[in-house]
Amino acid sequence: MQWQVYLEKAQSSLRVAEMALTSGEYDSCVSRAYYAMFQAEIAALIKLTDFRPSQWGHGRVQAEFNRRLIHAQKIFPAGLRFIHSDLIGRRHIADYEEKRIGRMTAERCVKKAKEMVIEIVRVLKREQL
């Protein structure tokens, strides 16, 4: 598995989230922000662990990222451990509920996703050296 592919997907999803934010498409923004973070987590798991599930389930990715890369190996700061839970909750509202996401919530989601993606990129690029 190529971790770089998932990192490229994460960066693309983040760019689309930012474009959706700019154009006022807040539900789509939150959905893409979540996927940016999720795809970055997958890239980190592929590059830094031996975890290779048959499917990249959302809950399992979060659990393994937190367990292996935050708690056990301490590669990532503990402050990242709740971003997945927060963003998936917002994504479920954006994708599956009648309620609409507002601008401030969308901005916070992009900020959190960006923080996660930037930190994962920083670590994975350092690990390449």
Quick: pLDDT tens for 71-97.
999 999 999 999 999 999 999 999 999
pTM: predicted TM-score of the whole model, two decimal places: 0.95
Mean pLDDT of 97-116: 97
Give percent of the chain with pLDDT exceeding 90: 95
pLDDT for the residue numbered 128: 66
Confidence of residue 126 (pLDDT cuts 50, 70, 90): confident
Cβ-proximal residues to 54 (8 Å cutoff; 6+ apart), any chain:
none
pLDDT for the residue numbered 77: 95
Specify whether the CB–CB gap between 58 and 38 falls below 8 A: yes
Q: Residue 27 above 80 pLDDT? A: yes
pLDDT for the residue numbered 1: 65
